[in-house]
Structure 1
Amino acid sequence: MSAQTRSSEPVRLARADADLVRRDELLPGLATLLDPAAFLEALSRDLPDANPVAAEPLYLRYKPGTNCLVEYRVRAAGGREALLYAKTYGLDAASKLKKALRKPGVPGAFGVGRLVWEDRKTVVSFFPNDDRLEQLRGLTDEGKTRRLLGHVLPECPELREGRLAALRYKPERRYVARLTGTGGQGAALKLYTPGGYAQAERNALAFSETFKSTGPLRVARVLGRAEREGAIAFEWADGEPFEKTPTAGAAEKVGAALAELHAQGTRDLKYTTRQEEISSLNALAGAVSYTLPELLDGFYTLAARLSAQLLRERPLAVPIHGDFYDEQVLISASHVTILDLDRATLGDPATDLGNFAARLEYDALEGDLPGDLAANLEASLIAGYGGAGGDVLPEKVRLYKAVGLFRLAPEPFRSRRDGWAEKTGRILSRAAEVLEEGA
């Protein structure tokens, strides 16, 4: 661990980032975190022996005036990589830095657990050190790993002795790993924060125990869970991610599987009210408008139009995924597995169709998917859904597609895309166009 004081260095920020830094004077480390070159320079001074040569921002979470978290992948000269996140604090910085100085953590890939930059009110945490996923640190110790797996999977000895391989990590939110048992059996292990575990457990049990794998749909069963460890283990699901096989046939299968999911009758999920939907749109408009004040009128105007349209729709209480898009499905020859039901709720089934279509549209706007293919996949998804008995109302799907695009507006900023400000504006414009198409 290191705690040093240094003067501020010049940074090479894009205009939108520089404007944001000027407005948010309560976060002294914001300029460094938003500039990979400046972040790398600061890291190199504290870790000369590691010789880091490249820093790639992966993910950002920002609360104006309160904190900003940026996850980085850092590569050293010899090819060694470290996953870490840096978090700069505002008015509560003193207590946060004091805590970090008391808890140096376990050594990460570069031999340190945490760095504290007092002048920037910033803490850098190297994986597996995480302030809210404290159980992660135990995965570096064989004995602690066995104990955790023993608590989660008491009736699966072959998995308890298995090996973990990281799949996804979102700092201070969630960690997902593949667990391979001694006999080749597989499971997915998810670690949650204390606050995230309760909803994840409730939803996992609702889908695992109440929902059935019928027709083309497969839902991974819960194999074990442990509240104290904040961990849930699921069956391993085989198949190819949809994003690797984006064909009309695959999209039809996904639509059919989604119809099966919506047709099942659990009531053991939280109901999302219209007011909650509307409140979330207004909150998002406020957050995006802070990063891009020039778009304030556009975001609040569209939020109001979307809200008015939602209020005209009859509320429904159907079990829905709640965050449905291409990365949440695996395709095999005989079935489709729907993943990541942590945000499942009771609501309008058009939410899932519209959100999937919005993500296709977003990928097209980003240049990651041809526009005509995105439109074809959307049509095939809806055809598969209707063909399997799902109730398709095109105007409602368009509404939720516009809502989905609106919710994706912060994504270029969060994922640190080049030209994120212009891309955010394009998403806003396209969401408004989609809503007009249904008028």
Structure 2
Amino acid sequence: MRVVNDYDLDNDVKMPFLRELLSPKRVKEHLSKHLPNIISNYQLAEIKVIRYKPEKRCLIEFTFDGKNSLALIGKIRAKGTDFKSYNVQKQLWKNGFNDDCLDKISVPEPIAIIPEWQMWLQRKVSGEVLRDLFTPNIDLNIVKKIAHVAHKLHCANIPTFRSHVIADELAILHQKLPLILRDFPEWECRVAYILNTCDKLGQHIQEDDSLCGIHRDFYFDQIIVNKDHFYLLDLDLYCLGNPALDIGNFMGHITEYSLRKYGDFSVLKGQEKTVENEFIKLVGENKRQAVTIYTILTLIRHIYLSTQFVDRHCTTPFLLDYCETQLTMFEKKYSICS
């Protein structure tokens, strides 16, 4: 029985129970209570802390020995058990997103909730994170399937009380983008132009009858690829929203990643257009403008995000220039200057 932990979990005032998760005895007691079938058929072999953000969240992997291999991922949240994400994933699993689905687009199987640890468990899936496959030579069939993953989620439309519309997206930009002026006060006029133009773009988003369940954080870190089987991860932000947001968010991440990884916005442009065109085939040409808008808004959000990570600081001025160019091109194409 191994315990693997590189973090200090002993002094988290918002999650004081974390130290219990490093005790094999306590873990076995809780699993016996909540997962008696697993405990009776498997032997706990390893507890491994995968990720930890103090006073925010923790991710722990439990590995079991038995007739078949089994590993569970425990997701812990300081502000309380995430019942919403668990229930959304459970509903998806029951409605065509299980391991046996013909289109091979699934979510990891949700297993149980352990409320005293503010944790819910899902079965670990094997495969590669899509980001690790995302190179200029990536198989275009993989790229095309990205659009189908998003579209399947949108069509499932699992009910939710949360929503995120264009006004919410613009509010985030108005809140976050001006923060870069603390480091770059000389950009005040440029930031004002960007935010003003974003508001104009927002007026072109029609959301009356197009809202459905969306991921809201859809990009390549949220997909595990196991041969031709895709697994969609992390539905923490799942809400009612515009389906164009998910694809626009993914495309914006591709562009930003292309700059950060290869030093050039255009290196992965072909893959980005492949995602867009495949999605438009599924939903109709009339959705292309909304996808473009959400792509631009995602990139503008990345201007701020680039200032939050040391390894991205060098990309900030390039993102600013690129976003200004994209906004100008959109203004001319759709005549929104007035």
TM range (shorter): 0.7 to 0.9
The aligned amino acid for 2:317 is G
Q: CA 1:289 to 1:210, structure 2 compared with 1: closer, same or farther past 3 Å?
A: farther
Higher helix share: 2
CA contact (8 A) 1:172 1:193 kept: yes
C-alpha separation in 2, matches of 1:170 and 1:310: 34
Instruction: Give the equivalent residue in structure 2 for 1:143.
Output: 25
Instruction: Give the equivalent residue in structure 2 for 1:409.
Output: 303
Partner SS state of residue 181, structure 1: strand
> Which residue, out of 187, 202, 205, partners 1:310?
202
Instruction: Give the equivalent residue in structure 2 for 1:382.
Output: 276
For residues 200-349 of structure 1, the aligned pairs below 5 Å read 200-210=85-95, 212-213=97-98, 214=101, 215-246=103-134, 247=138, 248-315=140-207, 316-349=210-243
Instruction: Give the equivalent residue in structure 2 for 1:362.
Output: 256
CA contact (8 A) 2:180 2:307 kept: no
TM-score by length of 1: 0.64
The aligned amino acid for 1:341 is L
The aligned amino acid for 2:238 is A
Q: CA 1:237 to 1:385, structure 2 compared with 1: closer, same or farther past 3 Å?
A: farther
Partner SS state of residue 163, structure 2: coil
> Which residue, out of 72, 82, 89, partners 1:197?
82
Q: CA 1:266 to 1:197, structure 2 compared with 1: closer, same or farther past 3 Å?
A: closer
CA contact (8 A) 1:176 1:189 kept: yes
Q: How much does 1:148 deviate?
A: 4.1
Higher alpha-carbon deviation: 274-283 or 153-162: 153-162
Instruction: Give the equivalent residue in structure 2 for 1:172.
Output: 55
Instruction: Give the equivalent residue in structure 1 for 2:336.
Output: none
CA contact (8 A) 2:47 2:61 kept: yes
CA contact (8 A) 2:105 2:149 kept: yes
The aligned amino acid for 1:377 is Q
The aligned amino acid for 1:187 is L
Partner SS state of residue 145, structure 1: helix
CA contact (8 A) 1:289 1:295 kept: yes
C-alpha separation in 1, matches of 2:223 and 2:324: 28
Q: What 5-or-longer segments of structure 1 have no aligned partner?
A: 1-80, 85-125
Q: How much does 1:329 deviate?
A: 0.6
Q: What percentage of aligned pairs have identical amino acids?
A: 18
Q: CA 1:348 to 1:160, structure 2 compared with 1: closer, same or farther past 3 Å?
A: farther
CA contact (8 A) 2:127 2:225 kept: yes
Question: Greater Rg, structure 1 or structure 2?
Answer: 1
CA contact (8 A) 2:214 2:241 kept: yes
Deviations 1:197-225 (A, max 9, x none): 35434544454445634423111231001
Higher alpha-carbon deviation: 216-225 or 197-206: 197-206
Deviations 1:295-330 (A, max 9, x none): 333234312321231233111321111101111111
Deviations 1:22-78 (A, max 9, x none): xxxxxxxxxxxxxxxxxxxxxxxxxxxxxxxxxxxxxxxxxxxxxxxxxxxxxxxxx
Deviations 1:411-431 (A, max 9, x none): 33322227x1x5223222222
- Across the aligned residues of Structure 1 and Structure 2, the Cα RMSD in angstroms comes to 2.8
Deviations 1:367-417 (A, max 9, x none): 347644411111222233345x23453322221111111222233332222
C-alpha separation in 2, matches of 1:149 and 1:369: 48
Deviations 1:312-355 (A, max 9, x none): 31113211111011111111223211111111111111111111
Q: How much does 1:226 deviate?
A: 2.3
Structure number with greater CO (CA < 8 Å, separation at least 6) is 2
C-alpha separation in 1, matches of 2:104 and 2:277: 15
Q: How much does 1:266 deviate?
A: 1.7
C-alpha separation in 1, matches of 2:34 and 2:186: 49
Q: How much does 1:82 deviate?
A: 8.9
Q: What 5-or-longer segments of structure 2 have no aligned partner?
A: 332-338
